[in-house]
């Protein structure tokens, strides 16, 4: 009798797991079809989820910052900062001698980040500059930045090649581009896709870290020829 009860419980658990998996697959298929037809940045109402404790549990900002090699004293650009899930961590990583430029095309996202920076727990952060702008037309001088990073953003950009060329323009020779992707994101690409995009834009692959579900690809901007 005890064995039968255990088997029955296992069967119920398996059914629930398969149901969850099935719903996840259906959601991924539907949302990916929508994203292929309509390209748009993450809407502002998602900002609260993107910067939530749940999201940080599965994609810890400290891990993203470490994999991206964000270091003290560097000038860093975060493309598609959203509501700031990684911004404050990056700001503390570069320290008082560094700078973080938080760029987003959506003003309401930047407003959420501004509110976050004004909270008492973030009063020590004085090195973040909010920038409204497009990844395809970066408002920075040539060879002015040490590092550019983006998390679950590259695939949202309609003209990825143009954006990557802009990033190469503003990065110093030897500067780093770090691209992080996370599978629950509807625009999630395989590692090989991200690597190909970076290579085609002229970047040199430096490192790939993380798992299939949550990875960071790091590139180096080589010196310009001629």
Q: In whole angstroms, what is the distance from residue 136 CA to residue 211 CA?
A: 29
* 28: confidence class by pLDDT, cuts 50, 70, 90: very low
Q: What is the pTM of this model?
A: 0.81
38-42, 72-76, 128-132, 147-151, range with the lowest pLDDT = 38-42
**pLDDT for 29 beyond 50:** no
**pLDDT reported for residue 18:** 53
**pLDDT reported for residue 111:** 95
Higher pLDDT, 40 or 209: 209
In the Cβ-directed half-sphere of 17, how many Cα atoms lie within 13 Å?
6
116-142: pLDDT as tens digits: 999 999 999 999 999 999 999 999 999
**pLDDT reported for residue 130:** 98
**pLDDT for 175 beyond 50:** yes
Q: In whole angstroms, what is the distance from residue 139 CA to residue 162 CA?
A: 14
Q: Give me the mean pLDDT over the 60-74 stretch.
A: 97
Q: Of the candidates 175, 225, 226, which has an alpha carbon nearest to the alpha carbon of residue 204?
A: 175
1-24: pLDDT as tens digits: 555 556 666 666 666 655 554 544
Q: In whole angstroms, what is the distance from residue 193 CA to residue 183 CA?
A: 14
Q: In whole angstroms, what is the distance from residue 97 CA to residue 110 CA?
A: 23
**pLDDT for 25 beyond 50:** no
**pLDDT reported for residue 3:** 57
**pLDDT reported for residue 226:** 42
Q: Give me the mean pLDDT over the 54-68 stretch.
A: 91
* 45: confidence class by pLDDT, cuts 50, 70, 90: low
Q: What is the 3-state secondary structure (H, E, C) of the chain?
A: CHHHHHHHHHHHHHHHHHHHHHHHHHHHHHHHHHHHHCCCCCCHHHHHHHCCHHHHHHCCHHHHHHHHCCCCCCEEEEECCCCCCCHHHHHHHHCCCCEEEEEECCHHHHHHHHHHHCCHHHCCCCCEEEEECCCCCCCCCCCCEEEEEEECCHHHCCCHHHHHHHHHHHEEEEEEEEEEEECCCCCCCCHHHHHHHHHHCCCEEEEEEECCCEEEEEEECCCCCC
Mean pLDDT of the chain: 86
As a whole-number percent, the residues of the chain with pLDDT over 90 amount to 69
Q: Give me the mean pLDDT over the 33-39 stretch.
A: 51
């Amino acid at each position: 009798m005890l064995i039968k009860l255990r088997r029955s419980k296992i069967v119920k658990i398996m059914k629930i797991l398969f149901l969850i998996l099935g719903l996840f697959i259906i959601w991924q298929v539907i949302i990916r079809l929508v994203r292929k037809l309509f390209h748009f940045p993450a809407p502002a109402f998602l900002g609260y989820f993107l910067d939530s404790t749940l999201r940080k549990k599965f994609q810890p900002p400290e891990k993203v910052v470490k994999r991206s090699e964000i270091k003290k004293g560097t000038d860093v650009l975060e493309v598609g900062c959203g509501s700031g899930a990684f911004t404050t961590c990056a700001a503390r990583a570069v320290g008082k001698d560094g700078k973080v430029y938080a760029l987003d095309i959506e003003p309401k996202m930047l407003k959420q980040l501004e509110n976050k920076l004004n909270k008492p727990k973030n009063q020590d952060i004085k090195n973040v500059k909010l920038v409204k702008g497009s990844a395809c037309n970066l408002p920075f001088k040539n060879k002015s930045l040490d590092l550019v990073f983006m998390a679950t953003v590259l695939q949202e950009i309609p003209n990825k090649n143009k954006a990557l060329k802009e990033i190469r323009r503003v990065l110093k020779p030897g500067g780093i581009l770090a691209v992080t992707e996370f599978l629950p994101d509807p625009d999630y690409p395989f590692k090989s896709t991200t690597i190909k995009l970076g290579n085609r834009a002229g970047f040199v692959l430096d490192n790939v870290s993380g798992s299939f579900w949550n990875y960071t690809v790091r590139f180096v901007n080589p010196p310009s020829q001629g």
